[in-house]
A and B are shown apart, each in its own frame.
Chain A
Amino acid sequence: DVKVTQSSRYLVKRTGEKVFLECVQDMDHENMFWYRQDPGLGLRLIYFSYDVKMKEKGDIPEGYSVSREKKERFSLILESASTNQTSMYLCASRYLTGSTDTQYFGPGTRLTVL
């Protein structure tokens, strides 16, 4: 069974702290994604990775960075957390063929920055 796990379900941090969110998938997928989800805005892409050590900015990369040292693991880093980064963060890995484009999501991390 497909599995994407995230390191924390809930996280509370203070403004200015460095925050690490980790995501692990067990499906050997090449593509992995980080989204944030806010009410009324849907899912917005922060960064994605199409292979180990390969990454590209999504639609809202400011204030974030990522790391993909191993195929199964994709980390999101908030260099200096700010209150406007309070959100639900969702990681996904992707199964892509000619006939489907399926993303498998982790359970999410609800981050509160005080």
Chain B
Amino acid sequence: GQSLEQPSEVTAVEGAIVQINCTYQTSGFYGLSWYQQHDGGAPTFLSYNGLDGLEETGRFSSFLSRSDSYGYLLLQELQMKDSASYFCAVKRGGFKTIFGAGTRLFVKA
């Protein structure tokens, strides 16, 4: 089967660093994306890893290890506005993308 596993919830303190992991098992793999979704809002794109290694965009970084079928999203200097759901998504062959169930991040003061 095809699956993406990510924790359902993570809680962290404002100013801290948090890592959200994603492991995948899919037929065909071309890249891993991350999306953020606030309550009542649409998912918005954060990052894409097509190759192994770390991609950095401001306070957010994303990492991919294809050999381990594993990636993570790293959020630094957490802010209250980072409280949201985060989805990993795998680009498969053809045009299809499969999404994980999402990780709900709670940032506490």
Contact = CB atoms under 8 A, between A and B. Distances in A.
Contact of A101 (B42, B44, B87, B97): B97
A59 B98 contact: yes
A31 B87 CA distance: 20
Interface stretch (A43-51, A67-75, A79-87): A43-51
Contacts of B4: 42
B60 interface: no
Nearest to B6: A42
B96 interface: yes
Interface residues of B, number: 25
Nearest to A104: B45
Contacts of A100: 48, 50
Contacts of A90: 42-43
Given A42-B102, A99-B50, A100-B48, A105 B42 contact: yes
B88 to A, nearest CB: 9
B98 A106 contact: no
Interface in B6-38: 8, 30-31, 33, 35
Contacts of B98: 45, 59
A101 B99 contact: no
Interface centre among B8, B41, B45, B102 (most CB of A within 10 A): B45
Nearest to A56: B95
A43 B43 contact: yes
Interface in B39-73: 41-45, 48, 50
A107 interface: yes
Interface of B: 4, 8, 30-31, 33, 35, 41-45, 48, 50, 87, 89, 91, 94-102
Given A58-B96, A101-B50, 20 more contacts: A33-B97, A35-B99, A40-B101, A42-B99, A42-B101, A43-B43, A43-B87, A43-B89, A45-B98, A90-B42, A98-B50, A101-B30, A101-B48, A101-B91, A102-B33, A102-B48, A104-B45, A105-B42, A105-B43, A107-B41
